[in-house]
A = this chain, B = another copy of it.
Amino acid sequence: MGRIGILKTPHGKVKTPALMPVIHPGKQTIDVKKYGADIVITNAYIIYKNEELKEKALQDGVHSLINFDGPIVTDSGSFQLSEYGDIDITNREVIEFQEKIGTDIGTSLDIPTPPYVKRERAEKELEITLERAKEALDARENLMLNSVVQGSTFPDLRAKCAEIIGKMDFEVYPIGAVVPLLENYRYRDVVDIVMASVANLPPSRPRHLMGAGHPMVFALAVAMGCDLFDSAAYILYAQDDRLMMPTGTYKLQNLSEMPCSCEVCNKYTPDDLRSMKKDQRMKLIAQHNLNISFAEIRTIRQAIIDGNLLELVEQRCRAHPYLLDALRNLKKYTQLMEEYDPEYKNSAFFYSGPESLNRPEILRHQSRLKRLPQKDRVLLLPVFKKPYSKNIKNLLTSFGREKEYDLEKLGNFYKIEGLKTGNNQVMGESLQVTVVDIPFGVIPLEIDEVYPLAQNEAPSFLDEDSKKMVKGKINEYIKNFSEVIISEDVVKKFDLDFDLENFNINDLRLDFNDKEKIKYIADYQFGKGAGKALFYGDIQIVKSRKTGKIRHVYDGEDLIATLRASDGIFVLSISGAKRLHKFLEYPKNRVVVNSDAEPFAREGKSIFAKFVIDIDINIRANEEVLIVNENDDLLAFGKSILNAREIKDFKIGQAVKTRKGGK
C-alpha cells in the first residue's frame, strides 16, 4: 500500500513519502532544509500564544517567521489540549489564524483521545472532532486542511471517522493520537488503527501518521499507506544524547563506535561527542538523526519503485520483537493489501521468514489457481532448479529419448490411495504436472514462468510455518483429482499423511504442449476461459531463437499477443484485445472513459483518471486492461498505472498507459 506521490501546496510540490521536521517557531537552530526537508511542520497555537511571534507571523507570514520558503504545515494546539487538558482558542479561531499567517496546510482543533479509554469517551470525543472538522471546512477560505482521524484504540471508530471525514473535502488526513502507543512499543495496536483508518480514507489524499518520528517505524507505516511523517524526535532525542537508527536507538553513553555511515558518525567518535559541550553535541546528534531519517525515507521510496517495500518492512521489523508482532498482525489485512499490490514488479520475491507467507503475491496465486482448467490426474514433482518447465524438459530429454522419460532422477514416487474414486488406468487421461515449492505451494508447470512463480527465492531450510502452509495447499489442491502421483521428497518435506502405494514413474508420459501452455497463462492472467477465447484459429507460436521461450502468438498472420520475457505475462495486440473484449463480460477488465476522453483514447493517448466514469473494481496496478466507452465499445487497451479504487478516486494524473489505439 506504499506509494510515491506528489503533494501540491501553495509553496510548491512535495514528493511523498516525506518527513516533516518539527520547527519550533521561537527557537529553531538547525537548518533542516540542508538535510533534506522539503516540507516542515510548526505549531500555530504556540505562535498564537506568544505575542511577539503572533505579531510577526500576522505581519510577515509564517514562512518568514520560521525562515522556510517551502510548504509549511501547522498543527492546531490539539497536542497542547491533550497534554494540558484545556487551551484558550476556539476551533474557528485557530483555522482563521492559520489562514491569516499563510500556512500551507492547517489543522482543525480535533480531540486526540488517548488509547484504551472507555468506548463511551472515545465516541463522545469523536463527535466533537467530527463537528470541528465540519466547522473547519466552513471557516477556511483557501487554506488547505488536515482532518485528523481519531477514535482511540477502537478500530471501528477509527474506520467510522475515516469514512465520514474522508467524504468531506480535506486535503490531508492525519491519523492522530498514536504517540502514546508508539512510546510504549504497542506497534501491534498501531497496525490495527492505521489499517482501519487507511482502508476508509480516499486513496487520492495523503495520510500523515502524526507524531511518528522514529525511522524504525517509517517502512511499516508506509507499507500501510502512510505518506507523511513529522519528527520532533530528531531534536528531542538529540537533547537526550540518543542516536536514532532504522534498527533502533543508541544511547551515546553506551557507544564505543559510531554505528552509521553519515558525515557526523564518520567524522567523530563517541568520545569526541561526549567531550563536547552539550550544545555542540546536541546539534551534531540532531544532524545524525536527520541524516538517518531522511536516508530511511529515500530507502523506502526506492523500495516502492523496486517493488520490494514489504521486504524492507520485514527487515526493519526485526529491530524489536514488538515490531515483529506488528508485522505478524498485518496478516489480517493481506486481502486489502493485495488490492494495492501491483500485479507485476521489477524485483524478485525474496522470502525472509514466516511473515513472507502473508504477502499479497501468495494470496493472489492461490486465488488464480482456481482459474485454470481442471484435469483428471495430477503429478506433484519435487522442487528443482528454476525455471522448472525448462529444466524438467532438459532433464527428460537429456537421454535423447523424447517419448520415454526418465523421471526416476527425481526420486521415488507414490500414488495416493483413498481419494476420489479414480480410474486406475494410468495411460490416456489428462495429467496436470506441477511442482511443489516454497512459498507458492503447488505450481502447474504451464504457468511456472509467470511472475513471481519463477522470480522468487527462498531458503532451502524450511521453517514450520511454510511447511504447514504448503501442506494445507497441497491437501486443498489434490482434492479435485481422481488420481494423485506424488514425489517421496514432497511427502517427507511437508509431513504429508496419506496412504501411499508405490508407483513406477516411468509409466507416466509427460506431454508439454505449448498450445495448452498459452491458454493456461491467459486463464491465469485474465480469468477462466480467457485462453480459449484468445487463442483459437490457426494458432502459430513464435519462440525466441536465443532463449527458446515463447514470444508471440498468432492466428495465421494476425498477432494476438506477446509473452513478455521479464515476467511471463501476455501483452495484447489489437486482435487480442478485441477477442478478450468479446469474451469477458462487462465490466471485467474494463476502464470506462467518458465521451471527452474517447477521441484521445482512440488515438492511443494515455487515460487520465478524471475521465474514468466506471471501472472493474478488481483491476490492480500494472494489469493489462481494456479501455471502453459507456456503450462498451473497445477504444484502446493498455496497462493500469493505479488500482481500480485509486483510479476512481483520483482527479488528477494518469490512470492507464495506453498501448495502442483500438481502431
Interface residues of A (CB under 8 A from B): 35-36, 188, 247, 250, 254-263, 265-266, 291-292, 294-295, 298-299, 301-302, 305-306, 311-312, 314-315, 318-322, 324-325, 328-329, 331, 346, 350-355, 457-461, 463-465, 467-468
Contacts and interface: CB of A to CB of B under 8 A. Distances in A.
A325 B460 contact: yes
A25 to B, nearest CB: 27
The 6 closest A-B pairs by CB, nearest first: A464-B464, A325-B459, A261-B295, A328-B461, A257-B298, A259-B299
Most chain B beta-carbon neighbours within 10 Å: one of A36, A250, A258, A259? A259
Nearest to A461: B328
A262 B261 contact: yes
Given A254-B306, A465-B465, 8 more contacts: A35-B266, A257-B301, A259-B298, A262-B266, A318-B352, A324-B351, A325-B460, A325-B461
A227 to B, nearest CB: 15
Contacts of A350: 320-321
A6 B403 CA distance: 66
A464 B301 CA distance: 33
Contact of A465 (B260, B263, B312, B464): B464
Contacts of A321: 350-352, 457-459
A40 B435 CA distance: 49
A302 B256 contact: yes
12 contacts: A254-B346, A257-B299, A257-B302, A262-B263, A265-B295, A311-B318, A315-B315, A320-B350, A324-B353, A325-B459, A328-B461, A354-B465
A65 B79 CA distance: 64
A266 B266 contact: no
Given A255-B302, A256-B301, A295-B260, A329 B465 contact: no
A636 to B, nearest CB: 28
A324 B463 CA distance: 11
A188 B460 contact: yes
Contacts of A315: 247, 315, 318-319
A320 B5 CA distance: 28
A260 B298 CA distance: 8
B354 A302 contact: no
Nearest to A466: B464
A329 B462 CA distance: 11
Nearest to A255: B302
A262 B262 contact: yes
B261 A260 contact: yes
Contacts of A301: 256-257
A263 B260 CA distance: 11
A326 to B, nearest CB: 8
Contacts of A319: 315
Nearest to A465: B464
B322 A318 contact: no
Contacts of A298: 257-260, 265
Nearest to A468: B464
Nearest to A256: B305
Contacts of A257: 298-299, 301-302, 305
A107 B312 CA distance: 41
Nearest to A298: B257
A295 B259 contact: yes
Most chain B beta-carbon neighbours within 10 Å: one of A254, A457, A463? A463
Nearest to A292: B261
Contacts of A459: 321-322, 324-325, 328
